Chains A and B, each alone.
Chain A
Amino acid sequence: MSSITALAAESHIPVVDPAAADGVFSLAWLVIVLPLAGAAILLLGGRRTNRWGHLLGTATVLGSFVIGLSMFVALLGRDADDRTVGRELFTWIEAGGFKVGMDLLIDPLSILFVLLITGVGSLIHVYSIGYMEHDDRRRRFFGHLNLFIAAMTMLVLAADYLGIFLGWEGVGLASYLLIGFWQHKPSAAAAAKKAFVINRVGDIGMSLAIMLIFVTFGTTAFAGVSAAASGADESTMNVIGLLLLLGACGKSAQVPLQAWLLDAMEGPTPVSALIHAATMVTAGVYLVTRSNFIFENAPIAQTTVVVVAVVTLLWGAIIGCAKDDIKKVLAGSTMSQIGYMMLGAGLGVAGYAFAIFHLITHGFFKANMFLGAGSVMHAMDDDVDMRHYGALQKAIPVTFLTFAMGYLAIIGFPGFSGFWSKDKIIEVAFTQNIFVGLCALIGAGVTAFYMTRLMLMTFFTPDADGNGRWEPGVHPHESPKVMTVPLIVLAALSVLGGFLLVSNWIVDWLAPVVGEHHHEDPPLPALAMTAIVVLVVAVGVALAWFTIGRTEVPRTAPTDVNALTRAARNDLYGDAINDTLVVNPGRQTVAGLIAFDTAVIDGAVEGQAAGMGGLAGVFRRVQNGFVRTYALSVLAGAVLVVLVLLAVNL
């Protein structure tokens, strides 16, 4: 990885130096406050908001999107050097020399996130109107969705690590509420708890990082930290970077804190789309990209980001290959794709822009596919087992077509959005380190395999009579317009997302935030690289076609499978690893502490009391009720007093 460290030294990292907000930027706070107010009204308003709650919830997010869009347009109209705007709202915390303002930062990076979050978020809200129509707690669902959006926009708009942390915790809370939305199911309640607890581990890293940043720089604002970062001690920066990475791993479901993501599928499908596409898991990538001034000065932390990313992108992809639950395949794929983004972010200045580019295209196609999966489940009476699907392309044509766009985008079919973004990350990875590049390349092939498997098992592979493997009594039907229209919009975005790369627009756009990279020649010409990637993808697709597409898919999962498949079905034993390394030692420690508490601490207190009791039992025998004994003891006392007096006087 020495090339990565070398790169950090020669690249120029911009300092965050916001200009005062004017015009539309002074409304930036509304982006956060609108959904927050929506959440407050829906959650506090109670049943009287049932009738129009979902409409209000959608309207607030749409309002945020409109404000975000107008800020984006205003930024477009400014010079490249003038696109960082700060909006100071009020002093949040003031204690002695420690002062934190509730300040917002609108720059090319945060505005892209705002657009993604509120844009895709709006579509998911619209979709949810249809998806949750028969749920009698729909209003509450929209309240939680709004809270999620508010927390996430807070996270990306904050101009201060403490502000990020506020949004960070809000996202954690909202995800907990939404994953466990169907809390009457014990599995959903457990999944929500699991997500919350694992995120808490990441939050420890995040909070320690913030404390260390304050100790080192005397401030937690981006402006102050970025200005002083290059002069800071490298080992301190490494520690800060690693702690931030721990936080990012928790939110972005990177190894080793990945175990919650698959269980999080217990939530309603729009929640999965929201968590996986627009919010939550992108927070880690945002944090690493936003903290570029730290990571560029922390070579060890940056290398660790790359290692974590490579492990995760393969880990998620392998899990995706073996799952039969359509949502879990998509969850594995999210984990893997976030791995690509982290890889991009870990590659430094050369990769930040592409990480964000992939994040945006992924936001489009993954939201598209998750909502598509929700539409498939809607058609199949909430069955999630792909072995019960098959031959659905005629039954639900709109869902099929939109899903296909997302599919082509994620495997990187030439021309689709995912092709441009993933190809760029692989290319940069090869430029920096051949091994990392190879892993990313293999990941692309595996992605093509499992996504083709999902497509084939869901929409194709009819049996001999041309029918699907549907459960008896299931009659697939297309979803209502309110669900298909968001799908169509997202499908269009999945196809066209690549336009962001036209004449390197996104790289130039993000340059004021993440710095400019002096282009290095890749080991192979770019066109050859692209050809190799496409070839590997084609191999993955072909492999899926020959193993699944040409054979009859059994209705129950075969049990005589090899060890790798078994491991992948068990999430590569992620839970077992957690149990062995953390949960069981934790339980044993607690059991030991309880035993110590019972035996030693309680033992000392109770032993003392018992000793006193025993002694009292002996001494109370003196009170035997015989008057003459008392008289004798009085006499003895009197004699004693006399003797003492005599002794003293003598």
Chain B
Amino acid sequence: MSTEPYIILSAILFTIGCVGVLVRRNAIVVFMCVELMLNASNLALVTFAKANGNLDGQIAAFFVMVVAAAEVVVGLAIIMTIFRTRRSASVDDASLLKY
């Protein structure tokens, strides 16, 4: 089995996620883009696990999923709070914590 298409797909998804984080202002969208990057890396991990014939990559992917789930819980809670106080979910508006 050729791993190349999977890796290319993973790279495309990662790039989309990365660009999304950098250019979008809406916190929810930024968040989704972060998830996209995580899942792109998961795809690459699983692909390599299949190619190498062992389970190391898959285990790593499970770890990433667990961390992503925890992050969603915390992140969404923060976004909700910010939205409630500022009536906006724009990440550029929440720029008070600075020099």
Contacts and interface: CB of A to CB of B under 8 A. Distances in A.
A627 B99 contact: no
Contact of B99 (A620, A631, A635): A620
B56 to A, nearest CB: 20
A344 to B, nearest CB: 84
25 contacts: A620-B99, A623-B98, A623-B99, A624-B98, A624-B99, A625-B94, A625-B95, A625-B96, A625-B98, A625-B99, A626-B91, A626-B92, A626-B95, A627-B91, A627-B92, A627-B94, A627-B95, A628-B22, A628-B25, A628-B91, A628-B92, A631-B21, A631-B22, A632-B22, A635-B22
Contacts of B21: 628, 631
A475 interface: no
A624 B95 contact: yes
A454 to B, nearest CB: 83
Of the four ranges (under 10, 10 to 19, 20 to 34, 35 or more), the interface on chain B belongs to 10 to 19
Contacts of B74: none
Contacts of B91: 626-628
Interface in B1-35: 18, 21-23, 25, 30
A474 to B, nearest CB: 82
A519 interface: no
Contacts of B95: 624-627
Contacts of A627: 30, 91-92, 94-95
Contacts of B25: 628
A481 interface: no
B70 interface: no
Contacts of A628: 21-23, 25, 30, 91-92
Contacts of B30: 627-628
Most buried by B among A623, A624, A625, A635: A625
Nearest to A623: B99
Interface string A613-648: 000000011011111100110010000000000000
A621 B95 CA distance: 13
A625 B22 contact: no
Contacts, number: 33
Interface of B: 18, 21-23, 25, 30, 91-92, 94-99
Contacts of A620: 99
A620 B97 CA distance: 12
Most buried by A among B18, B91, B97, B99: B99
Interface string A483-513: 0000000000000000000000000000000
A514 B11 CA distance: 110
Contacts of B94: 625, 627
Nearest to A634: B21
Nearest to A638: B18
A641 to B, nearest CB: 15
Closest 9 CB pairs of A and B: A625-B98, A625-B95, A620-B99, A627-B91, A623-B99, A631-B21, A626-B95, A624-B98, A623-B98
A635 B18 contact: yes
Contacts of A631: 21-22
Contacts of A635: 18, 22
Interface in A599-625: 620-621, 623-625
Most buried by B among A624, A628, A635: A628
Given A625-B98, A626-B92, 7 more contacts: A624-B99, A625-B96, A625-B99, A626-B91, A627-B30, A627-B94, A627-B95
Contacts of A632: 22
Contacts of B98: 623-625
A635 B96 CA distance: 22
A621 B99 CA distance: 6
B30 to A, nearest CB: 8
Nearest to A616: B99
A624 B92 CA distance: 10
A625 B97 contact: yes
Nearest to B21: A631
A628 B97 CA distance: 13
B12 to A, nearest CB: 16
A374 to B, nearest CB: 78
